[in-house]
Amino acid sequence: MTSAPHAAPVPFRTLEQAAALVRERGLRLTSPRRLVLQALFRAEGPVSAESLAGRLTLDPASVYRNLEVLEGLGLVRHVHLGHGPGLYGLLAGGEHEYLYCEHCGKVTALAPDALDPLRDQIRARFGYEARFTHFPITGACPDCARSRGGESV
Amino acid sequence: MTSAPHAAPVPFRTLEQAAALVRERGLRLTSPRRLVLQALFRAEGPVSAESLAGRLTLDPASVYRNLEVLEGLGLVRHVHLGHGPGLYGLLAGGEHEYLYCEHCGKVTALAPDALDPLRDQIRARFGYEARFTHFPITGACPDCARSRGGESV
DNA sequence: ATACTTGCAAATGATTTGCCAGTGT
DNA sequence: ACACTGGCAAATCATTTGCAAGTAT
């Protein structure tokens, strides 16, 4: 999960396309690697390396290493939602940005351009080019915000 | 650093006020506890528990425990900037929110209300009550954004 | 055949917990 | 005195690394 330079996201949609990309880069499509890819395609949202290792009966180290190479290929990204392990998800369909409720744990994935107006405002005020792909926008979701007025964390 | 409910921030400015608050809550102002508080008052920005333990020659466990109680009292908060350990800082002068450059590591602390317009926009569009105190706004700072056009992470 | 990969064990880094001796109040 | 604390060792959680055996191409 080390912060190494990542490849620019290459458009892909299917497991076959992802598999092809792995081979094109001269890497091998081994059984564990295919399983990880498959599991990510089936997952609802981002999942932890440990949970993948568990459900696939693979060694965690292999899962971590695979996620790392897949991330290097631009097929996978990880996000940090609150404390707890990093969560990995496919980049099929482009980058996602996230809203994360630190009270109930709810996660909302947004389309790549949903936060553009926000990004514009941040750029204008602070000059920062903000991304909410690796760390989400964190706070209270509508429900939690309602049920707890102006409380502190 | 566990995510437990935190006390509402109580206004304080000096080490004496902080110390008084510790005692008011029936807690003890021990030597290690005072040292941690002192070090936080002297620190420029948020610092890791390990670095405090090192420079104060205290056991890391004690430092973690102290930071936890101080956080419970509303005197301290921690923030996660990128990967790496959590960083602790005083709440003297109110909550801070952060901008964090994931390329050069630059950290910009903002006054409590600097992000209100942004918060308003987020509330209007998504209903979320966003805080950038525990997780910063992450991206490329002006310098890094300039020196690296539209690259991927 | 060759280099990329795997599983397993062990190491790392961050943080927490158990325990008992020590000390503020 | 008594309960809150401190240090130290050990445990836990997430992740990484070393290494020899295995396998995709």
- Distance, CA of A30 to C1' of D23, in Å: 8
Q: Answer for A120: CB within 7 Å of strand C.
A: no
pLDDT string in tens for chain A (153-residue length): 776 667 777 889 999 999 999 999 999 999 999 999 999 999 999 999 999 999 999 999 999 999 999 999 999 999 999 999 999 999 998 899 999 999 999 999 999 899 999 999 999 999 999 999 999 999 999 999 999 876 765
Q: How far apart are alpha carbons B50 and B39 in whole angstroms? A: 13
pTM value is 0.94
- Distance, CA of A61 to C1' of C8, in Å: 10
B1-52: per-residue pLDDT in tens? 776 667 777 789 999 999 999 999 999 999 999 999 999 999 999 999 999 9
Residues near A48 by Cβ (< 8 Å), separated by ≥ 6? Answer: A84, A85, A86, A87, A88
User: At residue B114, does pLDDT exceed 80?
Assistant: yes
Q: What is the 3-state secondary structure (H, E, C) of chain A?
A: CCCCCCCCCCCCCCHHHHHHHHHHCCCCCCHHHHHHHHHHHHCCCCEEHHHHHHHHCCCHHHHHHHHHHHHHCCCEEEECCCCCCCEEEECCCCCCEEEEECCCCCEEEECCCCCHHHHHHHHHHHCCEECCCCCCEEEECHHHHHHCCCCCC
pLDDT recorded at residue B147: 92
pLDDT recorded at residue B1: 74
Token pair 């990995």 is at which residue? A88
Q: How far apart are alpha carbons B128 and B118 in whole angstroms? A: 11
Q: Do A122 and B118 touch (CB under 8 A)?
A: yes
Measured CA distances, A12 to A2, A17, A117, A146, B54 (Å): 24, 6, 27, 39, 48
Q: Which nucleotide is nearest to B23 (CA to C1')?
A: C25
- Distance, CA of A58 to C1' of D22, in Å: 15
Among A108, A97, A115, A104, residue whose Cα is nearest residue A145: A104
Least confident of A2-16, A69-83, B58-72, B124-138: A2-16
Q: How far apart are alpha carbons B69 and B55 in whole angstroms? A: 20
pLDDT recorded at residue B149: 72
B6 against B146, higher pLDDT: B146
Distance from CA of A29 to the nearest CA of B (A): 25
Of residues B1, B8, B130, nearest to A138 (C-beta): B130
A123-148: per-residue pLDDT in tens? 999 999 999 999 999 999 999 999 98
pLDDT recorded at residue A150: 65
Measured CA distances, A23 to A12, A26, A93, B74, B111 (Å): 14, 5, 20, 54, 50
pLDDT recorded at residue B88: 98
Please, are residues B52 and B58 in contact by the beta-carbon 8 Å criterion? yes
Q: How far apart are alpha carbons B132 and A20 in whole angstroms? A: 40
Strand, helix or coil for residue B90: strand
